[in-house]
Chains A and B, each alone.
Chain A
Amino acid sequence: MLFTDRAFFALLFCTFAAYYCRRSAGYQIAVLLVASLFFYAWTQPWLLTLLGLSALLSTVTSYGVEKAQEDWRRRAWAVAGVVINLGVLAFFKYDRLVFNSLVGPLPPPGDVLGTLLAIPLPIGISFYTFHGISLVVDVFRARQGGKTQSPLGQERGFLDHARRTFLYLTFFPQLIAGPIVKAKDFYPQMGAKAFADIHWYGVAKALIIGFFLKSVVADNLAQQTGVLAPPFCYSLSTLNLVLVLIAYSVQIFADFAGYSLIAIGLARLFGYALPDNFRFPYIAQTFSEFWTRWHMSLSAWLRDYVYYPLGGNRKGAHRTYVNLLLVMALGGLWHGAGWSYAVWGLWHGGALALERMARGTRFYLSEARLAKIARWALVFTVVTLGWTLFKLPDFAQVRELAGAAWDNRHMRFSRGVPMLLLFYMAPVLIYHLLYQFRDQPPRAIAFLWGMRTEGVALGLMLTAIMVQAGNPTPFIYFQF
């Protein structure tokens, strides 16, 4: 079910009405749980089996970690929890990649192996397995650290733990594409919620900006950026292709940031705070800054559960570079079961490592405006070029696109399509530019920071959603 579907709004209305009927944590958790499972099962009900099994295993292992008295037993439960979640992810997401790479072409779906390999990727699996790992590790770390306060909060036995864990893993605003919320941040929020406590303005702001970014910016740009794929790319000049690639950069931001904001707004409607996922990523002047602004919840997850355990930057320069490459390659593979995603991760890992090597140079130390612009341009260019691997996960297509970009350098620049691209990109560009001026706005545009102006801007966005929404397309991150 898409957040833009009419069925979703019906589900949301019913869930909201039922949720605030009674102010009781147990009842409200049950309502959200039913709504989340219904939401997930809408198009492919059989996927509930896998989600249920995965949630049950995470429930059992995390409960084992929480209740185990001996260190070895606790450790065993934790290892089991992590291995099971990784196993589920590996089996359902990477089976075809591994088979293709190690054995050869996939067998026809007649025999057992062929049938297993033909199972489509369960939607949201990358997210709920990461939630499961976060749960087990957070509980384990708290117990190992001797903390008396469990990240799971106050519970009343296994059934209560199961109910809470199922909600944590299936909470519908973030079930399919995040943001990835850590167990220690989510469990303490599970309590009785009151209708009077809803922060309506915050909800409205997140939902309006989210739907605006998704429906008006991303969905319309999606209709224009399809030309990057061969053979369409052969009909555009180099400059036109560059502009379309920049537009794709904006589209992927608007698509995912829009989704995240909708998720945050919906969660607030039910009294839950989800972490921010994007903070003006395209103003970043360094790659490390970019990753503190782009898909922040994934960056934080990889940092806490992979990079730090690998040693982070505490084991010397060379080991740090290796860790960066490894973590980013894994992060790339998390996005999709294809070597192009691993290459995309290595592209970013390499950029992070090179930046780390060069961070003592004048290029990175200078505070001059020109140096800042050069650093920003470098980051934006490298990031945007990297998105070609998202748009065209087939290496041959990327090669064709690069070939067309070179061959068409003398072709006449077409003015029509760039005008449309700029029209759709403008809100995101303005959004980033305004952020640059947040501390010292020029006098001429200082009024834009006023409370009333924000209300008017949100009202205009709402109108744009009504008159300019593009044809709904699935969220790009749904495929992950």
Chain B
Amino acid sequence: MQRPLLPIAVTAALSFAAYAAVVQFAPFSVPVVQNQVDTNMMRMQGFLAAPPRTVLVGSSLTFRLPTEVLEPEVANIGLTGGSALTGLALVERSGEKPSLVLIESNLLERPLDQEAVQAQLRFPERFLRKHLRVFRTGFDPANLLWRALLYFTHHVDAVMPPEAARHFYEGQRDFKAHPPEPVNFQRNLNLTAALVTSLETKGVRVGFFEMPIDPGLMNSPADTAIRRDVRKAFPPGRYCWLDLQVPGGAHTLDGVHLTADDSALIARNILAQQKNCR
């Protein structure tokens, strides 16, 4: 004799409905998530849920710019481990029309993550996420636990041990010792140009910015080549370029990611300068 499936179905339906109701009506937001992939998805979903006037697209360098300084006027689609191209493609394909899109130029050699963009724009997920929190990244039980943990332990930005910082710095130095692979980089520049043109056709202004990094790495072969080629493809006379600098040189955790203080400083700079680009 077969066991009945009804208890499984009833339990699943009731527990899902109860959980969905709790997260839908509970008076909290989820500012932090537990891992890189979720963090990226949350940034993309945040833009799609309420598109602001200005959008930053970039990598983890941009990701660290504090949203509490930027929002609500500026959305930060900096993707950790990702490319500015992914955020740019999301904005272009979403159908949303912000006034200004600012593109981080530092790591444009990284490829576009098509799958990540499609996953955010697919029906019915996009529709469900817009209306029901339970389908949004960040509202899962583990993330709520993580958020509570950080709240109750008054978590602060973890201090990176010197040995780890040294390894990360050396890794960055080695990585930046060579210019990017020319064929792929050129393909990325062409794709960026196509997306920029498409956005401009829709009436969206596009600008660029270079995130400051450790002064010892600013003029590495990779950075020099990328700076030269991006500025050649998107010349400052034709496109708005923000001038972001930290007086006395940027302070970083690992050579490229700014400290919390410098991140806040750059975020305020962006907030002030972006108005000139609109």
Which residues from chain A sit less than 8 Å from chain B, CB to CB? 199-201, 204, 208, 220, 223-224, 230-231, 234-235, 407-408, 411, 414-416, 419-420, 423-424, 451-452, 455-456, 458-460, 462-464, 466-468, 470-471
Contact = CB atoms under 8 A, between A and B. Distances in A.
Interface string B4-39: 111111111001100110000000000000111110
Contacts of A201: 2-5
B250 interface: no
A208 B164 contact: no
Contact of B12 (A200, A220, A230, A459): A459
A471 B38 contact: yes
A415 B153 contact: yes
Nearest to B148: A419
A468 B16 CA distance: 11
B236 to A, nearest CB: 35
A456 B140 contact: no
B59 to A, nearest CB: 17
B167 interface: yes
A443 B181 CA distance: 66
Contact of A230 (B11, B161, B167): B167
Contact of A420 (B2, B9, B145, B160): B145
B167 A204 contact: no
B145 A423 contact: yes
Size bracket, chain B contacts: 35 or more
Contacts of A471: 37-38, 41
Given A223-B34, A458-B7, A468-B142, 7 more contacts: A208-B8, A231-B167, A234-B167, A408-B161, A416-B146, A456-B7, A462-B11
B155 interface: yes
Contacts of A223: 34-38
Contact of A455 (B7, B36, B37): B7
A199 B160 CA distance: 54
Contacts of A208: 8
Contacts of A199: 2
A323 B161 CA distance: 47
Given A459-B15, A467-B16, A471-B38, A231 B168 contact: yes
A442 to B, nearest CB: 24
Query: Among A230, A420, A424, A451, which residue has the most Cβ atoms of chain B within 10 A?
Result: A420
A74 B155 CA distance: 71
Given A234-B163, A415-B153, A463 B146 contact: no
Given A408-B161, A455-B3, A456-B7, A231 B171 contact: yes
A200 B142 contact: no
A464 B6 CA distance: 18
Interface of B: 2-12, 15-16, 19-20, 34-38, 41, 134, 139-142, 145-146, 149-150, 153, 155, 158, 160-161, 163-164, 167-168, 170-171
A406 to B, nearest CB: 12
A471 B120 CA distance: 12
A462 B140 CA distance: 14
A471 B142 CA distance: 13
B34 A420 contact: yes
Contacts of A452: 7
A200 B7 contact: no
A416 B8 contact: no
A418 to B, nearest CB: 10
B161 A411 contact: yes
A417 to B, nearest CB: 8
Query: Among B16, B153, B164, B170, which residue has the most Cβ atoms of chain A within 10 A?
Result: B164
Query: Among B12, B41, B168, which residue has the most Cβ atoms of chain A within 10 A?
Result: B12
A282 B86 CA distance: 41
Kindly list the 6 A-B residue pairs having the minimum CB-CB distance in the complex, ordered from nearest: A459-B11, A455-B7, A234-B164, A223-B35, A231-B167, A235-B164
A7 to B, nearest CB: 12
A255 B115 CA distance: 22
Contacts of B8: 204, 208, 455, 458-459, 462
B144 to A, nearest CB: 10
A459 B170 CA distance: 49
Contacts of B11: 455-456, 458-460, 462-463
A422 to B, nearest CB: 10
A208 B8 CA distance: 10
Nearest to A419: B149
Contacts of B150: 416
A408 B160 CA distance: 12
